[in-house]
Amino acid sequence: MRFTAVIHNAEGKILSQQFNATELALEGKSYIRHQIDGDLDDFYVSDGEVLSKSNAPSEGHIFNYATGSWDLDIDLARSLRWGAIKAARNAQERATFEWNGNVVQCDESSQVRIQAAVQAAIIDDSVADVWTFADNSTQTLNATELKAIAKALAEHVKACHERGRMLRAQINAATTLQELEAIVW
């Protein structure tokens, strides 16, 4: 006789579902006669029954098959929060900064341009370059001003990373999901 089987491990994690199964084909496997309509990861087996998992409270939770509940994996939650903070730090680092009342772009291409302009200014103190700011206004800058923009860029990047290190320390010290969720860029 053929039937549908839900194959699971000893913990109750569902491994697969086999349609048109036979006792012989399932020999040595833990299974129950049942059919799941939906994503297998949304269910588990406990005491011979297929049960639905509730939704995870956060991405930092893992399902505990022994208790049938979601447990916070603080290391995972910290890692996820750091990933979000790092992405925000990188976005701000490559956005804009202010110099002398002007908004200066500092995406990767702009940073390369700033570095090239500063190298030219170091080589030749008489260099003058027309600079386009984030609002598309232009201004002719001398070597001293070009060096000042580069210094402001360096300070901007440094400030982003100092804030990132401070938040990383807070993340590492956090012991609850609520503490982690309170840490924002």
Question: pLDDT at position 183, please?
Answer: 98
What pTM does this model have? 0.81
For the chain (185 residues), the mean pLDDT of every run of 10, in chain order, is 95 97 94 96 97 96 97 98 98 98 97 97 96 97 98 98 98 98 97
**Helices 108-123, 143-173: inter-axial angle, 10-degree rounding:** 140
b/e string for 40-55 if b means 16 or more Cβ within 10 A? beebbbeeeebeebee
